[in-house]
Chain A
Amino acid sequence: MGVEQLPQILVNGLLLGGLYALIAAGLSLVFGVMRVINFAHGEFVMLGGMVTYWLFVLYDVNPLVSFFVVLVGGLLLGALVQALLIRRVVDAPPMMSLLLTFGMSFFLIGLGLFLWENISRSVPAYGGSWRALGVAFPRMRMIAFGMSALVIGAVFAFLRRTRLGKAVRATAQHAEVAMTCGIDVARMRVIAFAMGIGMATSAGALLVTISAIDPQVGGLYILKAFAIVILGGLGSLAGALVGGLILGLTEVLGTFYVSSAVGQASAYLVLLIVLILRPGGLMGTAEKVRA
Chain B
Amino acid sequence: MNRRGVNVTAGVAVVGVMVAAPLVLSGYQIVFVLLTLLYIGMAYSWNLISGYTGYLSFGHVAFFGIGAYTVGVLVATHGWPWPVAVLTGGVLAAVVAVPLGWIMLRLRGPYFAIGMLAVAEGTRLLASVWRGVTRGGLGIFVTTTYNVVPVYYSLLGLVVVVMTLTYWVDNSRFGLRLLSIREDEDAAEVLGIDTTRRKLTAFVMSAAFPGMIGGLYAWYIGYIDPGSVFALSFSLNMVLMTLLGGAGTFLGPLIGGASFAVVLESLWARFPAYHLMVTGVAIMAIVLFIPNGIVAVLRRFGLISRRRQFASRVVRRSQRRTDEGPAPTTEKSDVAAG
Contact = CB atoms under 8 A, between A and B. Distances in A.
A94 B107 CA distance: 13
A290 B114 contact: no
B53 to A, nearest CB: 11
A111 B279 CA distance: 11
Nearest to B50: A95
A233 to B, nearest CB: 12
A106 B283 CA distance: 9
A38 to B, nearest CB: 10
Interface in A249-280: 259, 261-262, 264-265, 267-269, 271-272, 275-276, 279
A271 B287 contact: no
Interface string B104-120: 11111111011101110
A177 B92 CA distance: 50
Interface stretch (A4-12, A48-56, A142-150, A223-231): A223-231
Given A106-B276, A110-B280, A276 B108 contact: no
A251 to B, nearest CB: 13
B284 A107 contact: yes
B266 to A, nearest CB: 18
B232 to A, nearest CB: 8
Contact of A98 (B56, B119, B281): B56
B110 A99 contact: no
Contacts of A271: 114-115, 118
Contacts, number: 129
Interface string B253-290: 00000000000000000000111111111111011100
Given A37-B110, A272-B115, A291-B196, A103 B129 contact: no
Given A113-B273, A268-B118, A275-B107, A291 B195 contact: yes
A230 B125 contact: no
Interface residues of B, number: 46
A227 B118 contact: yes
A202 interface: no
Contacts of B196: 291
Contacts of B282: 103
Contacts of B275: 110
A272 B119 contact: yes
Nearest to B125: A265
Nearest to B130: A261
Interface string A92-133: 111110111011111111110110000000000000000000
A205 B250 CA distance: 47
A88 interface: yes
Size bin of chain A's contact surface? 35 or more
Contact of A114 (B118, B273, B288): B273
B115 A261 contact: no
A40 to B, nearest CB: 9
B222 interface: no
A113 B277 CA distance: 9
A289 interface: yes
A76 interface: no
Contacts of A272: 103, 115, 118-119, 122
Given A103-B283, A110-B279, A271-B115, 13 more contacts: A93-B54, A98-B56, A99-B283, A110-B280, A111-B277, A223-B117, A227-B118, A268-B118, A279-B111, A290-B108, A291-B105, A291-B106, A291-B107
Interface of B: 54, 56, 58, 103-111, 113-115, 117-119, 121-122, 125, 128-129, 185, 195-196, 232, 236, 239, 243, 273-284, 286-288, 291
15 contacts: A37-B114, A85-B288, A88-B288, A94-B110, A95-B109, A96-B287, A98-B113, A107-B281, A109-B276, A110-B275, A114-B273, A226-B117, A265-B125, A271-B114, A272-B122
